[in-house]
């Protein structure tokens, strides 16, 4: 009789845990979808006003890194309060502004809108595949984290160096590496939620948003290099 009670208790505890994980995943998906609205607004504002066109080279890098890390610090500090969501949405608006310079360049091509939609569709496809894999893979992927972090740091350093070098070949290599690393990061971050390793939906949304925005801009860079058509 005691064994049966213990089994029921364990089963009930597992159901409760599964419900909590599903809630975090559901809230993350909703907030992630919501975060795309300020991103689009920021990108539209940046393209329409040209406010970011002067942010090239070292100045653009300083503004981007300062703003991005400042926002991420603020998100981490407010993730357990009601302020966390507005701060996250403010960050996604900022990222849209920073992305507008690349989008404006791509829109300079005759087929610019098609390239942007292709990059968006490709990113959505990567996310769908990784979300599907995260729900069927039973293996613990937590060990991937440190290697992916090293890869992300290497990509960031390479990108900073290339701001001053301006090599198209290096940009291509960095973009290909970023697509691979951040696609894998997407799977890792989703698996963390599914396995209960991440229980804060604001932190989870931030991680997935960064994965998505990096895959998108890397795809867009490659499409611009290889598929851009001049008038």
- How is 160-222 classified by DSSP, letter by letter? HHHHHH--HHHHHHHHHHHHHHHHHHHHHHHHHHHTTS---HHHHHHHHHHHHHHHHHHHHHH
The number of domains in the chain is 1
Range(s) of the domain holding residue 15: 2-227
pLDDT in tens, the chain (231 residues): 334 433 333 343 433 477 888 889 999 999 999 999 999 999 999 999 988 877 776 777 888 889 999 999 999 999 999 899 999 999 999 999 999 999 999 999 989 899 999 999 999 999 999 999 988 988 888 888 889 999 999 999 998 898 888 888 999 999 999 999 999 999 999 999 988 888 899 999 999 999 999 999 999 999 998 887 776
- Nearest to 134, CA basis, from 52, 208, 75, 226: 208
Using CA atoms, how far apart are residues 71 and 45, in angstroms rounded to an integer? 19
3-class state of residue 82 by DSSP: coil
- The secondary structure element, H or E, covering residue 86 is helix 84-107
| Torsion sign (Cα): 49, 50, 52, 55 | negative
């Amino acid at each position: 009789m005691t064994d049966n009670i213990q089994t029921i208790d364990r089963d009930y505890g597992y159901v409760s845990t599964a419900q909590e994980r599903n809630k975090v995943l559901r809230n993350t998906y909703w907030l992630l979808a919501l975060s795309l609205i300020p991103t689009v607004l920021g990108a539209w504002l940046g393209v329409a006003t040209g406010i970011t066109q002067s942010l090239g080279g070292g100045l653009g890098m300083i503004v981007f890194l300062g703003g991005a890390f400042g926002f991420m610090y603020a998100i981490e500090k407010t993730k357990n309060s009601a302020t966390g969501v507005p701060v996250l949405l403010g960050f996604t608006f900022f990222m849209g502004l920073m992305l507008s310079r690349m989008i404006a360049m791509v829109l300079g091509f005759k087929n610019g809108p098609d390239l942007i939609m292709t990059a968006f569709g490709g990113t959505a496809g990567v996310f769908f595949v990784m979300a599907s894999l995260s729900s069927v893979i039973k293996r613990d992927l937590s060990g991937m984290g440190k290697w992916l972090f090293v890869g992300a740091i290497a990509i960031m350093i390479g990108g900073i160096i290339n701001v001053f070098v301006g090599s198209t070949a290096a940009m291509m290599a960095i973009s290909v590496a970023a697509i691979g690393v951040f696609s894998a990061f997407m799977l890792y971050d989703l698996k963390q939620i599914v396995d209960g390793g991440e229980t804060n939906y604001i932190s989870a949304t931030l991680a997935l948003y960064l994965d998505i925005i990096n895959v998108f801009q890397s795809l867009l860079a490659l499409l611009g290099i290889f598929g851009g058509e001049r008038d």
